[in-house]
Structure 1
Amino acid sequence: MSDHAGAADACPFEFRHPLLCGPLRQPRQMLAEQTYDGHKSIHDDSTAEGLGLRAGPIEGPTHFSQFDPLLYRLFGRAWFETGCISAHYQTMVVEGEEVRAFVQPPADAGGRMVRIHAEKKDGTPVLVGTASVGESAGLPPHELEQRIARLRPPTALVINRDLKVGQRGATGESIAMGFDDHMGDHYPFTLRDKLKVITEPCAWYTPESGASSPWGRPIIPMEMISVLLGSTSAQAGLSGRKPAVGLFAGQQIRLLRGPLFVGQRYELEREIIALSESARTESVWVRTRVFEASGERTPVAEMILNGAVMKASYPRYDEEAKALGLN
């Protein structure tokens, strides 16, 4: 795969039968200063500690970069054009911890879907999921799609009780990501900042060498697609009652006509596709569809995000649950 001027060739990897295994990496914390709704997020150490965590976790999609070299080895440039990564996040990672990515190669040469997982140096699971290239037709459901199919209708929502499956976000969302664009309070760093510390550098991402990519211009890394689509999410109006601290519990990013490009303007459409609850959280599952601005209305990418809010972070949770007859 010598045409990939970066991650796939620079990243050492090995086989641990039957797995394709990447090197240990130390992902960097970029969200310590993140704020939303007028308060710090779970990525702030003091906020995390107040919720029983030992430190502010690194954002889940940061780990997606560690899979890029492995999946490029398997699928070539199709990974950057029609790749899909779908992950359920299992254990939070804090800065300084080492993480390794694993891919289960397909059973046959024509296979388009694989199992993936990541773990810490001591074997603690970080995420589990699937990845594929090409059209979804003919493929089994991806990790998040399987989990959505198993959900039971929620019966005790408090924070998210005003939300409905099928509810659509506000229209008119439009976003672009240049190298030096600040992406708002949700993401207090630029693409240029990220490229200085990304776990798997690639020349195709950079202003200096992006024109040498197969598409003739710089592409947005898979993990930064999450930032692109998340930076304007508050405009959609698909969040629950506030204040409450949230986290990503699962995420799927699918390129349909990729890659997504640095500096290109995109329009977004969002819809709630599921609501769920657990003992500690309430979740909103939102599908975001991505279109080229002023282009034909054929999506070029989409993301499914399981955004969970922690019940303990909502000050009026017990009071309102009691008023609703839920405890």
Structure 2
Amino acid sequence: MLADAFTVAEQGDILTGPVRRPVNVSRDAQGSIHDDKTAQTLGFRGGTVAGNIHMEQFVPVMRARFGADWSQRGGLSLYFLNATTDGEPVQASIGPVVEDPFGIQRADVWMQTPEGVRVSEGTAWIGGDDPQSALRQRLASQRPAEDLRMLLASSVGDAVQDVPTRLDGETCLRRLQGITEPLPEYREAAIWGERVAAPAVAIDALRAVEGPLFRAKAGFVGMFGAIEVQHLGAPIFLDHDYLVDGRLVALGSSPKTEMAWYESTLKDAADCRPVARLLMLTRLLKASSPLWA
């Protein structure tokens, strides 16, 4: 179990964190899926809590299951099923560990409301690259898009390299004010030598490729469809210079969205040592674009 005050309950072979009420920290971002008016126009109950915010709740249960090493060489692969709004209660859970023939220790993870509605589901693991993670399996079954309009100018294989990125400590610490799991290393440099970036802000470093990589036509609302983060030997730190490479790995569509899958790798700017890897599914809502009017 953790050495801090976060409670993880054990029921049979399942570990479950406490009920939390995540804050919609982006609710003032007008014109986004997090803005009540925009979200309701698009058929949602209200401004949505971003999927990366929900990732925070999995850290205590993953560390309870895999140990503290998860923050250095573990991964979390989440597919988002149902959006929540500001302050709605949710719980994160992790199932038993199964070790595969290649030494990967993997467990199912999920988040749900007290009523049992699944908010997200996927896998967590430790021990190296996991080609059988929840999102790698979904990506393998992704069918090519038949009709792209917002993403018409994008192509699988588009890539960028060495995009500079840095997580400003003061900005990130302000974002931690409403965090559900404020672990000590997010504020105290003494634990790792530098302050660790919480998952909700850590993925911003890996997303730095989006601007130069995407050629989406303007005038749409997007939302996270899935996120996978893997540590490659160290946590991601605040106020640290990194470089990031990115590549579009799939494009797809559904009745309500156009979809872009991309992968990015974060490298230490000092020696180009790989630090973390991101697999992201971004959904562009058709109802928000004049191209689908």
**TM-score relative to the length of structure 1:** 0.84
Counterpart of 1:175 (choices 149, 154, 165) is 165
Distance 1:173 1:107, change over 3 A: closer
> Match for 1:128 among 121, 131, 134?
121
For each residue in 1:278-305, what CA deviation from the matched residue of structure 2 results, as whole angstroms up to 9, or x when unmatched? Answer: 0100001011110111313x42111111
For 1:310, give the aligned amino acid. Answer: L
Deviations 1:81-111 (A, max 9, x none): 0111000000001012100001002147x87
Aligned to 1:303: 278
Paired residues for 1:2-13 under 5 Å: 4=3, 9-13=4-8
| Distance in 1 separating the partners of 2:241 and 2:261 | 25
Does 190-199 or 272-281 show the bigger shift?
190-199
Partner of residue 92 from structure 2, selected from 97, 101, 114: 101
**Does the CA-based 8 Å contact 2:104-2:126 persist in structure 1?**
no
Question: Compared with structure 1, are the counterparts of its residues 140 and 18 closer, same or farther at alpha carbon in structure 2 (3 Å cutoff)?
Answer: farther
1:14 paired to 2:13: no
> 5+ residue gaps in structure 2?
none
- Whether 1:74 aligns to 2:65 is yes
> How far does residue 150 in structure 1 lie from its aligned partner after superposition?
0.7
Q: Superposition pairs for residues 181-196 of structure 1, below 5 Å?
A: 190-196=171-177
Write 1 or 2 for the structure with the bigger share of strand: 2
| 1:27-59 Cα shifts (integer Å, max 9, x gaps) | 011112336xxxx21111111011111101000
The residue type paired with residue 34 of structure 1 is: A
* TM-score (normalised: structure 2): 0.93
Q: Determine the structure 2 residue equivalent to 1:29.
A: 24
Per the alignment, in what secondary structure is the counterpart of residue 10 of structure 1?
Answer: coil
Q: Percent identity?
A: 29
Match of 1:324 in 2: none
Structure 2 counterpart of 1:204: 185
Find the structure with the greater CA-based Rg. 1
Code of the aligned partner of 1:210: A
My pick for the range that moved more, 219-228 or 63-72, is 219-228
Q: Partner of 2:35 in structure 1?
A: 44
TM-superposition CA deviations, 1:237-285 (whole Å, max 9, x none): 3141111110001110111121111111111111100111101000010
Number of equivalent positions: 291
Select 2:135's aligned residue among 139, 144, 147: 144
**Per-residue deviation at 1:234?**
4.6
Give every structure 1 segment of 4 or more consecutive aligned residues whose post-TM-superposition deviation is greater than 4 Å: none
For 2:226 and 2:204, locate their aligned partners in 1 and report how far apart those are by CA, in whole Å.
15
Partner in structure 1 of residue 47 of structure 2: 56
Q: Residues 204 and 210 of structure 1 are in contact (CA less than 8 Å); yes or no, is this contact kept in structure 2?
A: yes
Unmatched 5+ stretches in structure 1: 181-189, 319-327
